[in-house]
Amino acid sequence: MSVADIKYHKLIDDILNEGYYDQNRTGMATYKLPHQIMQFDLQKEFPIITTKFVAFKTAVKELLWIFKDQSNDVLALQAQNVHIWDEWMMEDGTIGTSYGFVVEKFKQIDELINTLKNNPQDRRMMINLWQIPYLNTGALHPCCFLTMWDVTDGRLNCMLVQRSGDAGLGIPFNTCQYAVLVHLIAQAVGLKPGLFTHVINNAHIYENHVEGLKLQLTRINDAYDAPKLWINPEINNFYEFTPEDIKLIDYKYHEKIQMEVAI
């Protein structure tokens, strides 16, 4: 089985057994644990769970929309048959000053790539989507809001900080999504991918996801090995990557478990 399956199943089991039960802004109560951490060595394995289907292509398309296209245009995602932002789309067809908007506003990818190439031991390398003047004019405060970057011995390491993590739906999606980002940035600057550390401040399970996740936990002994990530080796410019340049090889998984998104 994959390392991601082992660590994710432990997270789910811990939240179900030790989580604090309370209400939140969505109206659907959760069980939550603070300060949860999963770490993966991307040289050894790509972190995607196999005990249920994770929409990898959708994750890649959203990732490129935020960091390559630096877009807030929901219609552009819909044109790619991605509808994860439909519920938050504003009257102008965008998500306002969220996510890609602040990446472009402060040229954050350009700054990161330039620093990695020219001053890789800089200790201030980060992409921060939590830009206070733009929070309330966006459709949603960013959940995965901060990445911090490090170069050690030719390997690119990344720590993702997520303020709020829906363990049933969001966390598996975000883990593999940001692992892809590390691979893409590493290839663009001539480094090997290294450690990817996913820190979740509030890791929670919605009450209406409990039964689905209990079912998923029964699949752990039948989990599959991790797939291989393939990235087009001909591309060294981050802004030239397309979804077709990023693929999983031999991704085997158990069937999808239906869970509703809490708005």
Instruction: Walk along the chain (263 residues) and give the pLDDT tens digit of each residue.
Output: 899 999 999 999 999 999 999 999 898 999 999 999 999 999 999 999 999 999 999 999 999 999 999 999 999 999 999 999 999 999 999 999 999 999 999 999 999 999 999 999 999 999 999 999 999 999 999 999 999 999 999 999 999 999 999 999 999 999 999 999 999 999 999 999 999 999 999 999 999 999 999 999 999 999 999 999 999 999 999 999 999 999 999 999 999 998 888 87
pLDDT at residue 260, as a whole number: 86
Handedness of CA 7, 125, 139, 136 (dihedral sign): positive
List the one residue out of 227, 253, 198 whose CA is nearest residue 11: 198
List the one residue out of 247, 246, 162, 149 whose CA is nearest residue 204: 162
Tokens of 13: 């089991």
| CA distance to 24, 32, 33, 145, 146, per residue, from 164 (Å) | 11, 10, 10, 10, 12
Tokens 């829906």 label which residue? 166
Residue positions annotated with a catalytic role: 143
In CATH, which of 3.90.600.10, 2.60.40.1180, 3.50.50.60, 3.30.572.10 is domain 3-249? 3.30.572.10
Inter-axis angle of helices 170-189 and 3-18, nearest 10: 140
CB 97 within 8 A of CB 134: yes
Domain locations along the chain: 3-249
Q: d(Cα 63, Cα 70) in Å, to the nearest integer?
A: 9
pLDDT at residue 160, as a whole number: 98
